[in-house]
A and B are shown apart, each in its own frame.
Chain A
Amino acid sequence: MAMKKFMNDPADLTPELLEGYVAAYPSKVKLVNGKLVCRAEEKSADKVALVTLGGAGHEPALSGFVGEGMLDISVVGDIFAAPGPPNVYQALKMAAEKHVGVLFIILNHAGDVMSANMAMDMLENDGLADKVKIINTHEDIAPGVDTPIEDRRGLVGCVGVYKVAGAAAEAGKSLDEVFAVADKFNNQMATLAVALKTATHPSTGGAIFELAADEMEIGMGQHGEAGTGRSAMLSADKTAEVMATQLIKAVGATEGDSVLVMINGAGATTLMEMFIVFRGIKTYLDTLGIKIGASCVGEYLTVQEMGGFQMFIAKLDDELQAAWDAPADTAYMTVR
């Protein structure tokens, strides 16, 4: 079946979507050298900058969270492909030369990690690498919580890291302090994805995976890579309970604890469904005596028109709760 998407030349997808994004939110973001999404108004030099990288095709994706209280620079690659080392290096150099320190947040995917490592090698030659600390997110629990962290992918949890680390940076904390809050959050968060139907790769027009009409798959990756748990379709309540059970176990939350719950739509799953799932999570967590201290439901990291969502849970303490509640003003997350 022919692809049915609003687009021009497939080769221009990424530059055109970025031009459109910054044109739509000129008070928040600007484009530097075509592929770096930067804040429209730069943060002062005495504060730690947050830099991240990732492929396009997942809009709003990482670049949706550039702005006050969250990211400073998002380095964009191409559709489902990490940016090359030269652009990543340029972003890190810009940030490190201007700011007191840089928190560099990398989602654990092979291409992202390779580009990040090469960019850090280049930065080393400039003597700037000491100003950068790295957070590698790897909160996907689909391969199992005992799987080595280098084999676990970074999914929507990066948005939570941007938020809590961004709050610390905005408050004028040192690089070590910003790193510490990000690291704490990173170590007590977990994500599980579920997919219902495939998406079309916008460059090739091909389906990115196959799934039978009456099946769902828990553990699907950010690009639709197959997961491990195919099953017959379950109800919203049952899906919520199956997934939340694993996530709560992974983060080690027990009665009396407070958690952040995020539902991230994959692109073709309606808010109606996501709210019904969220209701299921709330009901389930109530039975465990676990409080929802913060929550959000929407589309953050999508996979084109894939059906499904990512469920994210992180354990909160007073410090993380305050960081989550601190002001943010980005195109796709605002807290006042």
Chain B
Amino acid sequence: MTITAETIQTMILSSATELRSHHEELSVLDSATGDGDHGTTIARAMDAVVKAAQDKASEPIGEMLHACGWEIMCSDGGSTGPLYGSLYMGMGKATKGKTELTGEDFAAMFEEGMATLRKQTKAEPGDKTLIDALVPGVETLRASIDAGKSIPEAMADSAAAAAAGAAKTCDYQAKFGRARNLGERSIGPVDAGATSMSYLFAGFAAAL
């Protein structure tokens, strides 16, 4: 089974809708350890994504994802821009020129996205950042594909793992970004960045 560029576009638009519908909640979460605007920043980035996905609807998957990444970076969203931007650009690099993806292509796309994002930050799992949702999300996707599951099944597993990863961040002490200055006071609330990353995965899964 393969999926088409049109389905990828639906996934992109679905994740944008999912994230935008949670923007107020994300800002409230961010106010616990940051300056309370993560939802605003994410909403601005997703506006950029929607525009790029619609403008590039007739192009191959990689070109569409690359455009999404570039537009996110142009949206001036603090660290969200380089991080989400490089995730999409990495996904685009892995799918350049392709108009449909196999399960293997699909998993490789997320792996390349994650690798590109991780070049921008030294954060590791457990540091209370979006990495805590991204890593289990991508690793679970790969495991489910390798286990012979369909793309929709694997994406559903992935979204569940990303959500579980985000939920665990309440136990962690922040090591990166503005929240790190709080030290032990950062333990308790879940991380806004990990939560938004889990909604991105939930939005992808909902479209399949």
Contact = CB atoms under 8 A, between A and B. Distances in A.
Question: Are the chains A and B members of one assembly?
Answer: yes
Interface of A: 11, 14, 35, 55, 76-87, 109-111, 114-115, 117-118, 142-143, 151, 153, 201, 203-204, 206-209, 219, 221, 223-228
Given A118-B82, A143-B181, A228-B183, A81 B36 contact: no
B155 interface: no
Given A110-B177, A206-B36, A208-B36, A82 B31 contact: no
A87 B178 CA distance: 23
17 contacts: A11-B44, A76-B76, A77-B78, A82-B78, A82-B79, A84-B72, A84-B76, A114-B81, A117-B120, A142-B181, A203-B40, A206-B27, A221-B178, A224-B35, A225-B179, A225-B181, A228-B183
Given A76-B76, A85-B81, A226-B181, 14 more contacts: A77-B76, A78-B44, A84-B73, A85-B73, A85-B85, A110-B79, A110-B178, A115-B81, A117-B82, A118-B120, A151-B180, A201-B36, A203-B37, A223-B35
Given A114-B83, A201-B37, A206-B36, A80 B78 contact: yes
Contacts of B179: 225
Given A84-B82, A117-B120, A204 B74 contact: no
B9 interface: no
A187 to B, nearest CB: 22
Interface in B149-208: 176-183, 185
Interface in B14-43: 27-28, 31, 33-37, 39-41
B92 to A, nearest CB: 15
B110 interface: no
B70 A86 contact: yes
Contact of A225 (B28, B35, B74): B35
B177 A227 contact: no
A80 B44 CA distance: 13
Given A85-B81, A114-B121, A227-B181, A201 B75 contact: no
Contacts, number: 122
Interface in B64-90: 70, 72-83, 85-86
Nearest to A152: B181
B185 A226 contact: yes
A-B pairs with lowest CB-CB distance, top 7: A111-B78, A81-B78, A111-B79, A114-B82, A84-B81, A223-B35, A84-B73
B51 to A, nearest CB: 14
Nearest to A80: B35
Contact of A81 (B27, B70, B76, B83): B76
Given A78-B77, A85-B73, A226-B185, A111 B36 contact: no
B36 A204 contact: yes
B82 A115 contact: yes
A115 B36 CA distance: 21
Given A114-B120, A142-B181, A206-B28, A79 B37 contact: yes
A136 B8 CA distance: 40
Nearest to B82: A114
**Residue with the highest number of chain A CB atoms closer than 10 Å, among B78, B120, B176:** B78
Contacts of A224: 35
B187 to A, nearest CB: 13
B28 A110 contact: no
A89 B145 CA distance: 38
A85 B181 contact: no
B81 A82 contact: yes
B177 to A, nearest CB: 5
Contacts of B35: 80, 201, 208, 223-225
B179 to A, nearest CB: 7
A238 B72 CA distance: 47
Contacts of A84: 72-77, 81-82, 85
A153 B185 CA distance: 18
Given A79-B37, A80-B37, A228-B183, A208 B75 contact: no
Contacts of A208: 31, 35-36
Interface in B111-152: 120-121
Nearest to A10: B40
A183 B169 CA distance: 38
Contacts of A87: 74, 76
A223 B181 CA distance: 12
Contacts of B70: 86
A140 B72 CA distance: 30
Contacts of A83: 76
Contacts of A82: 76-79, 81
B79 A86 contact: no
A228 B183 CA distance: 8
Contacts of A111: 77-82
